[in-house]
Structure 1
């Protein structure tokens, strides 16, 4: 696990519920559980602050790093994408995003295409992207400014489910993702009995962080296609159920360790 990713997961899972701030000392102690050296923690946090992800306060020799608007937004978007999976019935309406390629440079195109993929759009061909979900508002908020003006949205329905399936097959290759989902299930489902018996705080925290980092890669590759567009034997929903249950089973011992380390209680939350 990379130090930068561990930092964001500690803030996203724990520190955000303790006011969004933590002192460098307790942060370093928790990072040490993942074999991250104190010097590395200092360098990572300094760089993240310079990059605008955190604000910092200093009292004596102690530095506190706190979430700012940029990092709160990142954590909120990431959490919604991981936990708020779209498993509802589909009304067979596609949202199309048309990318105006005239006058935009490579970096701007990459930024826009990354945002489209983040919100579950798949590339049909060239400048045409499709999503079975209406994420226009969220996408526009992420793009903002000049990037937003380069994307036009349409909503449409096809002649029937056969055409819908052709669009889905053209936009997304779910074969590799399905294999990876099965690998996740094979890894974590056998561990559930041990999670239910309870684990020591240190072990639970490390296991929960590994669980999050292993699962997080999937929602950003998975467009959450409606049931009628999924390939036979799709394992994505079972993988999500395994993740959510394991995440909750490990929560209490992991949180107890974090609270005892930072000396601040955590607010109530949904997940």
Structure 2
């Protein structure tokens, strides 16, 4: 799963345990609604968000905002009022599953993908969309008009371009860095590694205490912890698109952050799901 308009939050503030309600709601939908066609009742959503400290007025306000943005749409199911994910939201969540829930770090032998695009002045709004989407996917800027990413992002990039009808404006190339200069230094210019370190550090600070608890978490506590950790994590694999470890600072903090996320996922995922199923079925 990933952002639907905003969940990857490529320009977001550092992860905190006070994520905005709409971000938590999208996480809940991404995790638990797709097995039922993307639908959750309003009553279930209010009950689940209460476990996260979000009151009913905030839930309803956030749902309205997500509806206006085309992420959720109203639908009744078996007489119950609720909301389902839009087709666009479902497509973007599917795109994000691979990025967020799998460890994927490129190596130097994998090569790079370059993206270049040309948009007529009469359609310059599409230029902004292209730049925003390439940034969201984790591209760096090698030179004006030349975007670069690890080669394994090809499929996700091509899918995004086709989904948004932008493929006629862009070309994708695959290649190697042959010369000149220190590639690690260039990577630090193409991507803001200092900001990444700050964000990873904030993630570790916020969520490492959960892993240090010795006791087994109760189901409701596991649910709240898992939704929070995933809400904070899901933006990070987009800001760090799996850059080769050889080009990153020694002891790269992103690897420690990933270790923490997957350890928490292993601990919390099943009791969290059990809590959701108990809440939904009443």
Task: Specify the TM-score bucket, using the shorter chain as the normaliser.
Answer: 0.7 to 0.9
Q: Is the 8 A contact 2:44 2:279 kept in 1?
A: yes
Report the TM-score when normalising by structure 2: 0.81
Larger Rg: 1
Q: In structure 2, do the counterparts of structure 1 residues 99 and 211 end up closer, same or farther at CA, with 3 Å as the change threshold?
A: same
Q: Which residue, 207, 212, 216 being the options, matches 1:193?
A: 212
Q: Does 1:237 align with 2:237?
A: no
Cα distance in 2, alignment partners of residues 255 and 210 from structure 1: 14
Q: Is the 8 A contact 1:99 1:127 kept in 2?
A: yes
Q: Which moved more, 1:124-133 or 1:27-36?
A: 27-36
Q: Which residue, 193, 215, 218 being the options, matches 1:174?
A: 193
What residue is the counterpart of 1:28 in the other structure?
46
Q: Which moved more, 1:54-63 or 1:133-142?
A: 54-63
Cα distance in 2, alignment partners of residues 22 and 235 from structure 1: 37
Task: Tell me how far 1:258 sits from its aligned partner.
Answer: 0.9
Cα distance in 2, alignment partners of residues 191 and 30 from structure 1: 20
What residue is the counterpart of 2:239 in the other structure?
221
Q: Secondary structure at the match of 2:242?
A: coil
Q: Deviations over 1:190-242 (max 9, x none)?
A: 43131x63112222222212211222232121122112211222111121011
Q: Does 1:154 align with 2:164?
A: no
Q: Secondary structure at the match of 1:91?
A: helix
Task: Tell me how far 1:128 sits from its aligned partner.
Answer: 0.7
Cα distance in 2, alignment partners of residues 137 and 94 from structure 1: 13
Task: Tell me how far 1:120 sits from its aligned partner.
Answer: 2.3
Q: Secondary structure at the match of 2:238?
A: coil
Larger relative contact order (CA 8 Å, sep ≥ 6): 2
Stretches of structure 2 that go unaligned for 5 or more consecutive residues are 1-18
Q: Is the 8 A contact 1:112 1:147 kept in 2?
A: yes
Stretches of structure 1 that go unaligned for 5 or more consecutive residues are 265-271
Q: Is the 8 A contact 1:177 1:221 kept in 2?
A: yes
Q: In structure 2, do the counterparts of structure 1 residues 167 and 49 end up closer, same or farther at CA, with 3 Å as the change threshold?
A: same
- The residue correspondences of 1:31-70 to structure 2 (distance < 5 A) are 31-58=49-76, 62-70=80-88
Q: What RMSD, in angstroms, separates the aligned Cα atoms of the two structures?
A: 2.6
